[in-house]
Structure formats: C-alpha cells, structure tokens
Amino acid sequence: MKNFMSSLSTSKAALIVGIAFITSVLIVSIVDDLLLANFVVPGDTAALSKDIEVNSTIFGFAVVGYLLVLALDSIIGLALYVVLKPANKKLALLTAVLRLLYVFILVMGLFALVLQVVDAYGYASIKLFGYVIFALHIFFLGYTVLKSGYIPKLIGTLLVIASFTYIVFFVDLGLSGMIGLITMLIMAIAEFSLSVWLLLRRKTLPE
C-alpha cells in the first residue's frame, strides 16, 4: 500500500477522489431512498430496532451498501493524502488518518449492530462519535485546502464552515426545517465542489 501511494500521482489521486465521491453519493441515495425508504424516521431507535427485525433482508442489503460507501471513504481519505501532500505533508496525513478513523468506527458499529453486540441505541452513540471524527476531518481538510495555494480558497472556506454544520446536523439540535435544509446544502456543496474541482483541474495539481 505504501509503495502504491508513493507512486500515485496527484492527478490520478484527484480523479480517484472525484469518482469515489460521486459513486458513494449514488450508493447512499439508493440505500436511503429505496432500501430504507419504508424504515422509521431516523432518531426513533426503538422503532428502528423493530423495523430491522421485520425487514432483515432489506437491512442486510443496506448494510452491504453502507460498507461499500465506507470502503470508498477509505479510498477517498488515502487519495486526498496524495492530493494534499504537496501543500503540507503533516496536515495531509492528519486529514487522511481522521477519515480512516471515522471509517473504522462506523464499520465496527455496523458489525456490532448486525451481530447484536449493541442495539440501535448503542449504534446511534457509536455513529455519533464517528460523525464527530468526520467533522474534524472536514475541518482539517478545509484548513489544508486554504493553505494549499493551488485549490480555491472558497472551497476551503466552505469545507471549514461545513465541518461545523456536520456537528450541528448530527447532534440534532431540533433545528427548524429551513435551517436544517440550509445546513444539509452546505454539507453537500462543500464536498461536491471539491470533488468536481479536482476532477476538472486534476492536471494542474503539483506533484
């Protein structure tokens, strides 16, 4: 893996980030809008536990889908390290480690839920902790982008703002519908903007 990462160009790494992110969005959309469309509203963990028992097959496919997304998240984290290494190797490494740690936490949480080591309540706590780590990853990703000098500062600023909106969104502070929608848009636009920019401008990145 180390030799592969060291031989990977920033242009190819940027291409990987863009494709992996778009693919993960498509998988999440399928899982959330099709497989889990009839499950309870997130937050009602008691009802969620019952739905998991009744719809075990569908839930199994959903778990596989989320594991694929988390695998793509790992790939994104490693590829981002290559993209950001020319800017600051230590910050790039920290950014990658935080994303990989987030993936590890959620994978462990999913397996614990499937194997019934924890119930839906326990999984919700594990997932929340993982999302806090992810928010930290987004913050340092945005900060590194701001310091890079070769990725637009606007994208870095959006990512830094998004890191705080992730925390607000996942902690569930009972925000109004409009504020919640704005929060989700900021989260989506920030990562999407970086992915699209990397796809379009990957050949201009420093090695």
- How does residue 123 score in pLDDT terms, banded at 50, 70 and 90? confident
pTM across the whole model: 0.85
Residue 176, SS3? coil
pLDDT of residue 67: 92
- Report the distance separating Cα 160 and Cα 166, nearest Å: 10
- The DSSP 8-state label assigned to residue 33 in this structure reads I
pLDDT digits 0-9 by tens, 4-18: 556 689 999 999 999
81: exposed, middle or buried (Cβ count in 10 Å: 0-12, 13-18, 19+): buried
Q: How far is CA 34 from its chain centroid?
A: 20
Give the contacts of 34 (CB within 8 A, at least 6 positions apart). Answer: none
Residue 64 sits in which domain range?
A: 2-204
Angle at 67 between CA 24 and CA 8, to 5 degrees: 60
User: Does 160 score more than 90 pLDDT?
Assistant: yes
pLDDT digits 0-9 by tens, 133-143: 999 999 999 99
pLDDT of residue 189: 87
Number of structural domains (the chain) is 1
- How does residue 45 score in pLDDT terms, banded at 50, 70 and 90? low
Give the contacts of 40 (CB within 8 A, at least 6 positions apart). Answer: 47, 48, 51
Number of neighbours of residue 156 by Cβ within 10 angstroms: 20
